[in-house]
Structure 1
Amino acid sequence: MKASKLLPACLMACVMGMSFGARAEAMDLPVEGEMPSFKGATGWLDAQPLTPAELRGKVVLVDFWTYSCINSIRQLPYLRAWARKYKDQGLVVIGVHSPEFAFEKNPDNVRQALKDLRVGAPIATAIDSDHGVWLDFNNEYWPAIYLVDARGRIRHHVFGEGEYEQTERVIQQLLTEAGARNVDQALVVGDGRGIEAAPDLANLKSPETYVGSERAENFVSKGGRLFSSRSVYAAPDSLSLNHWALVGDWTIGKHSAVLNTVGGRIVYRFHARDLHLVMGPRENGSAVRFRVLIDGKPPGAAHGIDVDAQGNGTLFAQRLYQLIRQAEPITDREFEIEFLDAGAEAFVFTFG
C-alpha cells in the first residue's frame, strides 16, 4: 500500500470482471499486513463499534466509499449480495464512509444516503468523517476493498470498481481457510439497475470532470476572472469534446461553483451513455429547480432518473444526480443544464 495521501478522485478499475470458471484453484494470497483498527471512526450505523479483536475468527471485507461517487454506487449490488450470501458462514462487511466533499461529512446526510441507496444490515457502516480510518489503512482510492482473513491479516485488495468475480473467489477461499464448510462456489450476479448499472465502457469517452478550481480541466468559459472568486461567464461559440463552460454569475471555490443569480447554466460536450453531476442547493439553501437539454432539445427518452422527459428536475439535497441515460448509438452530444433559481452548487461531472 502507498502513502496515506488523500486523492480527490473516484477510481474505475480497467477490468470490470474476470472469468475464473465454475470452481477456481486456490490462489496465492500473500499477507499484506495486519488490519488496522477502526478507532478513527466518528460513528457507526447498523452496528456497534467493531474492533480487530472482536472480528478475529471472521473474514472481513472493508470497503472505503463515499455516497456521491458513482464508482462506489455501482459497486453496491455486489456488496449487498455478498453480505447476505456469506453472513452465516463468517463474512463481515464493513463500509467505511470516507467523504470527498464537505457535505458528505454530515452524519445526517450519510444516514439519509444509506437509506436512499438501500445500504443497511448486515453491512455495518463506519462513519469516517475525519479520515482517521482511511489514514490508518494508508488508503488512496474510492472505492477500495480490503479482504482480511480470520487471523486479522489483509490478504487481498481491489482499487476501483470491478474485479467482482475474483473478489468473490477470494472471499470463498478465505472462508474455507477459516473452517467454513460447504461454501457455495457459485458467483453472485450483479443486479445493478438505474444509477447502479454497470458503465458502458465501450462508449465511455468522457472523464470525471471537476467544477471547482482545485482540479478543473478543459474549462473554456469566456469573460470574467477565470477561477477567481465571483465573476460573470459566457460560453464559447462552440465546444470541443470534453470541454465545458459556465454561463452567468458564479462564484468558483476550491471544490465547487455556486450560482449567484437565476438563469445560470453549465454546458458540456460529452461522449457517454450516462451523464451525472454531483450538485445540490448550497449549504442550508432552498430547493433549486433546473432544466436539462441535450443538443438544444429536451432529453425525451434519454433523460436520467432525476429528470423527466422534458428535462425538468429539482435539487433538494447535495448528492449525485443522474441527468442523462441514452440508448445507442452513442455519439458526441452537447449537454446543458439551466438553473431556474439561484443557489445551485456544482461539484463534479461523472459518466458511465
Structure 2
Amino acid sequence: MSTSLASKGWFKPVLAAVVLALAGAGTYVSLNKRPAAPQVAFVSIKGEKIAPESLKGKVVMVNFWATSCTTCVAEMPKMVETYNKFKDQGLEFVAVAMSYDPPNYVLNYAETRALPFKVALDADGSAARAYGNVAMTPTTFVIGKDGTILKRYLGEPDFAALHKLLEESLHG
C-alpha cells in the first residue's frame, strides 16, 4: 500500500516552512551587508570643520576616546604609530573626544603628545550617538573607501590585525 507524502497532511506546512526559511536566509544576507558610516561633521580642537565629504573615498579611522580613560591613554602611542605608518598611503584619522571630556584637557593632551592626526570634540555627544550610541572608550571604527564600516573595535585593538585590515583596505 503506497501513500503519497502530500496525502499525509504535513507536506504543505513543511514546504511552507522551507520556503520561509529560504526567504529569511535571503533577508539575512541582505541585512548582513556592511553598514554605511554615519555622515557626521566633526569640529577639531583648532575649530576646523571636518566634513564627511572631505573623507569620502578614503580609508578613515574614527577613534572615540577620553583623557580620563586609562586604556585610551595607553593605546594612543600605538594609534600614533599606526597613523604614521599608513598616512602616506592615504589613511585619515579622527580622534573624537567624548562629550564629558573637558575641552582644555583634550587640547592639553593633544598638544603635549603632539598628536599628528585630527582631534575633534564631541561637545554635544551627537557623534557618539550617530555611531551607535558609543559609551565605552576606546571605541574605534575603520571605514572603507566606499564609506562602509569595515570593523568596530571595543577596547584596544589587536594592532597586528588592524594593520593587516588597513593594508588590505588602502591597497585593495
Q: TM-score range by the shorter chain?
A: 0.7 to 0.9
Larger Rg: 2
Match of 1:135 among 110, 129, 148: 129
Greater alpha carbon shift after TM alignment, 168-177 vs 45-54? 45-54
CA distance in 1, matches of 2:105, 2:40: 21
Q: Please state how far the C-alpha of 1:84 moved relative to its aligned partner.
A: 1.1
1:166 equivalent in structure 2: 161
1:115 aligns with 2:123: no
2:18 equivalent in structure 1: none
CA distance in 2, matches of 1:114, 1:72: 13
Q: 3-state SS of the aligned residue for 1:96?
A: strand
Q: 3-state SS of the aligned residue for 1:156?
A: strand
Greater alpha carbon shift after TM alignment, 62-71 vs 75-84? 75-84
CA contact 2:37–2:143 (8 Å) conserved in 1: yes
For structure 2, the 5+ residue unaligned runs are 1-31
Matched residue count = 140
CA distance in 2, matches of 1:35, 1:136: 9
Task: Supply the AA of the counterpart residue of 2:129.
Answer: L
The TM-score, its normalising length taken from structure 2, stands at 0.74
Q: 3-state SS of the aligned residue for 1:36?
A: coil
CA contact 2:59–2:90 (8 Å) conserved in 1: yes
Task: Supply the AA of the counterpart residue of 2:119.
Answer: T
1:70 equivalent in structure 2: 70
Q: 3-state SS of the aligned residue for 2:50?
A: coil
CA contact 1:98–1:131 (8 Å) conserved in 2: yes
Deviation per residue, 1:171-200 (Å, 9 max, x gap): 1110012xxxxxxxxxxxxxxxxxxxxxxx
Structure with larger RCO (C-alpha < 8 A, sep 6+): 2
CA contact 1:59–1:174 (8 Å) conserved in 2: yes
Distance change in 2, residues 1:161/1:65 (3 Å)? same
CA contact 2:110–2:119 (8 Å) conserved in 1: no
CA contact 2:67–2:105 (8 Å) conserved in 1: no
Q: 3-state SS of the aligned residue for 1:34?
A: coil
Task: Supply the AA of the counterpart residue of 2:50.
Answer: L
1:149 aligns with 2:151: no
CA distance in 2, matches of 1:64, 1:125: 10
For structure 1, the 5+ residue unaligned runs are 1-29, 178-352
How do 1:249-264 and structure 2 match up within 5 A?
none
Distance change in 2, residues 1:119/1:72 (3 Å)? farther
CA contact 1:46–1:124 (8 Å) conserved in 2: no
How do 1:239-254 and structure 2 match up within 5 A?
none
CA distance in 1, matches of 2:115, 2:92: 13
Which structure carries more helix by proportion?
A: 2
